[in-house]
A and B are shown apart, each in its own frame.
Chain A
Amino acid sequence: MRKFLFIGMMLISLVLTAQSGKVLQQIKAEAQKINTIDAAFVQTKNISFIDEQLVSSGKFWFSRPDKMRWEYQKPFFYSIIINGDDITIVDDKRESRFDAASNAMFGQIKLVIMNMVNGKMFDDPGYHATLTEEDKFYVVNFETVNKAMKDYITSIDLYFTKDSFLMETIRMNEASGDNTMIEFKNQKINQPLSDDIFKP
Chain B
Amino acid sequence: MTFLNLKYLFSALLIGLVLSVSAQRVVMKYDADMMVQGKDLSGILIHSATDSSNRFVFVSKLGLKFFDVEVGKTEFSYAIHYFSPAFKSEKRVIGVAKEMFVLGFSDALAKQQGSKVKFIRSKQGSCKAAFGLFGKRVRVCYLDSHTSVQCKFYPVKFDLRVLY
Contacts and interface: CB of A to CB of B under 8 A. Distances in A.
A75 B163 CA distance: 7
Given A50-B27, A176-B68, A56 B46 contact: no
A76 B61 contact: yes
Contact of A178 (B55, B65, B164): B65
A151 B84 CA distance: 8
A75 B31 contact: yes
A38 B64 CA distance: 24
Interface residues of A, number: 23
Interface string A7-45: 000000000000000000000000000000000000101
Contact of A180 (B33, B63, B85): B63
Contacts of A153: 64
B163 A47 contact: no
A6 B31 CA distance: 58
B27 A151 contact: no
B37 interface: no
B85 A152 contact: yes
A172 B63 CA distance: 9
Nearest to A174: B65
B100 interface: no
A141 B6 CA distance: 53
B42 A91 contact: yes
B57 A47 contact: yes
Nearest to B84: A152
Interface in B34-54: 42, 44, 46, 48
A177 B61 CA distance: 17
Contacts of B61: 56, 72, 76, 78, 91
Interface string B68-85: 100000000000011011
Contact of A76 (B31, B55, B57, B65): B31
B58 to A, nearest CB: 11
A104 interface: no
**Residue from A72, A80, A176, A178 having most chain B Cβ neighbours under 10 A:** A176
Give the interface centre of B29, B61, B81, B85 by most chain A CB atoms within 10 Å. B61
Contacts of A56: 61
A4 interface: no
B97 interface: no
Nearest to B30: A76
Interface in A53-98: 54, 56, 72, 75-76, 78, 80, 91
A179 to B, nearest CB: 9
25 contacts: A43-B63, A45-B59, A45-B63, A49-B55, A49-B57, A49-B68, A49-B81, A52-B27, A54-B44, A54-B46, A54-B59, A54-B63, A72-B61, A75-B31, A91-B42, A151-B85, A152-B84, A172-B63, A174-B64, A174-B65, A176-B65, A176-B68, A176-B82, A178-B65, A180-B64
Given A43-B63, A174-B64, 11 more contacts: A47-B65, A49-B48, A50-B27, A54-B44, A54-B46, A56-B61, A75-B163, A78-B61, A91-B61, A151-B85, A152-B64
Interface of A: 43, 45, 47, 49-50, 52, 54, 56, 72, 75-76, 78, 80, 91, 151-153, 172, 174, 176-178, 180
Interface of B: 27, 29, 31, 33, 42, 44, 46, 48, 55, 57, 59, 61-65, 68, 81-82, 84-85, 163-164
